[in-house]
Chain A
Amino acid sequence: MFIQTLVTGLAIGGIYALMAVGYSLVFSILNFSNFAYGSIIMLGAYMGYFAMTEIGMPIGVAIVLSIVGSAALCFLNEKLAYSTLRKRKASSLYFMISAMGTAIFLENLVYATIGSRFYAFPQVLTQLNLEFMDISIGVLDVFAILFSFLAILTLHYFLQTSKIGIAIRAASYDMQVCELNGVNITKLIGWVFILAGALAGISGMFLGMKYMVYPTMGWITNKAYIAAVIGGLGSLPGAVTGGLILGVLETFVSAYVSSVVRDAFSFTLLVVLLMVLPTGLFGKFLEEKV
Chain B
Amino acid sequence: MKAKWLVLALVAMFTVVVAGCGVAAGDDNVIKIGHAVSLTGDSSMWGQSEKNALDMEVEKINAKGGVLGKKIKLVPYDNRADATEAVNVTKRLISDKVVAIIGPAQSGVAIAMAAVTEVSKVPLVATTATNPKVTVDDKTSQVRKYAFRTCFIDPFQGTVAAQFATRDLKAQTAAVVYDVGSDYSAWLGKYFIAEFEKQGGKIVGNEAFRSGELDFRAVLGKIKGANPDILFVPTMQKEAALVMKQSADLGIKAKFLGGDGWGSPDLITLGGSAVEGSYFVNLASADDPDIQTFVKDYKAKFKEDPVMPNPIMAIDGLYAIIDAIKTVNSTDSVKIAEQLEKIKDLQVLSGKLTIDPATHNPLNKPAVIQEVKDGKFIFKAKFVIQ
Show the binding face of A for B, using Cβ within 8 Å. 1, 4-5, 8-9, 11-12, 116-120, 123, 126-127, 129, 131, 136-138, 140-141, 211-212, 220, 250-255, 258-260, 262-263
What distance in Å separates the Cβ of B381 from its nearest Cβ neighbour in chain A?
28
A212 and B251 CA atoms in complex are apart in Å by: 20
Interface pair B251/A136, CB less than 8 Å apart = yes
* B217 interfacial contact with A, CB 8 Å: yes
Interface pair B273/A259, CB less than 8 Å apart = no
Interface pair B210/A126, CB less than 8 Å apart = no
Which residues of B in the span 187-231 have a Cβ within 8 Å of any Cβ on A?
207-210, 213-219, 221-222, 224-225
14 contacts between A and B (CB under 8 A): A4-B224, A4-B250, A5-B218, A9-B218, A119-B269, A127-B273, A129-B251, A136-B249, A136-B251, A137-B249, A211-B242, A252-B218, A253-B218, A259-B207
Residues of B within 8 A of A5 (CB): 218, 221
Residues of A within 8 A of B360 (CB): none
A262 and B210 CA atoms in complex are apart in Å by: 9
- 0/1 interface trace, chain B 245-281, chain A, CB 8 Å (1 if under): 1001111000000000000001001111110000000
- Identify which of A4, A127, A129 contacts B221 (C-beta below 8 A): A4
* B110 interfacial contact with A, CB 8 Å: no
A140 and B249 CA atoms in complex are apart in Å by: 9
Q: Which residue of B lies closest to A252 (CB)?
A: B218
* B382 interfacial contact with A, CB 8 Å: no
Which residues of B in the span 155-211 have a Cβ within 8 Å of any Cβ on A?
180, 207-210
Interface pair B210/A212, CB less than 8 Å apart = no
What distance in Å separates the Cβ of B40 from its nearest Cβ neighbour in chain A?
12
Interface pair A129/B272, CB less than 8 Å apart = no
Interface pair B217/A12, CB less than 8 Å apart = yes
Interface pair A258/B208, CB less than 8 Å apart = yes
* B241 interfacial contact with A, CB 8 Å: yes
A251 and B216 CA atoms in complex are apart in Å by: 9
Residues of B within 8 A of A123 (CB): 272-273
Residues of A within 8 A of B241 (CB): 120, 212
| Contact status of A8 and B221, CB under 8 A, knowing A118-B238, A211-B214, A220-B214 | yes
Determine the interface band of chain B, counting residues with CB < 8 A from chain A: 20 to 34
Residues of B within 8 A of A259 (CB): 207-210, 213, 216, 218-219
Interface pair A212/B270, CB less than 8 Å apart = yes
Residues of A within 8 A of B225 (CB): 1, 4
Interface pair A118/B210, CB less than 8 Å apart = no
| Contact status of A1 and B222, CB under 8 A, knowing A118-B238, A123-B273, A137-B249 | yes
Interface pair A260/B250, CB less than 8 Å apart = no
| Contact status of A126 and B221, CB under 8 A, knowing A118-B238, A211-B214 | no
Residues of A within 8 A of B245 (CB): 126-127
Residues of A within 8 A of B28 (CB): none
Residues of B within 8 A of A117 (CB): 266
Residues of A within 8 A of B213 (CB): 259
Residue of A5, A11, A126, A255 most packed against chain B (CB within 10 A): A255
What distance in Å separates the Cβ of A19 from its nearest Cβ neighbour in chain B?
14
Interface pair B249/A141, CB less than 8 Å apart = yes
Interface pair B249/A255, CB less than 8 Å apart = no
What distance in Å separates the Cβ of B348 from its nearest Cβ neighbour in chain A?
33
- Identify which of B209, B216, B222, B270 contacts A260 (C-beta below 8 A): B209
Interface pair A131/B272, CB less than 8 Å apart = no
- Identify which of A118, A119, A138, A263 contacts B249 (C-beta below 8 A): A138
10 extra A-B contacts, CB within 8 A, seeds A120-B269, A259-B213, A262-B210: A9-B218, A120-B241, A120-B270, A120-B272, A127-B245, A127-B248, A136-B224, A251-B221, A254-B219, A258-B208
* B42 interfacial contact with A, CB 8 Å: yes
Residues of A within 8 A of B221 (CB): 1, 4-5, 8, 251, 255
A140 and B269 CA atoms in complex are apart in Å by: 19
- Identify which of A141, A251, A260 contacts B208 (C-beta below 8 A): A260
What distance in Å separates the Cβ of A136 from its nearest Cβ neighbour in chain B?
4
Residues of A within 8 A of B266 (CB): 117-118
Residues of B within 8 A of A126 (CB): 245, 272
Q: Which residue of B lies closest to A139 (CB)?
A: B249
Residues of A within 8 A of B207 (CB): 258-259
What distance in Å separates the Cβ of B268 from its nearest Cβ neighbour in chain A?
10
Residues of B within 8 A of A252 (CB): 218
Interface pair B215/A211, CB less than 8 Å apart = yes
What distance in Å separates the Cβ of B358 from its nearest Cβ neighbour in chain A?
36
Residues of B within 8 A of A1 (CB): 221-222, 224-225
Q: Which residue of B lies closest to A11 (CB)?
A: B217
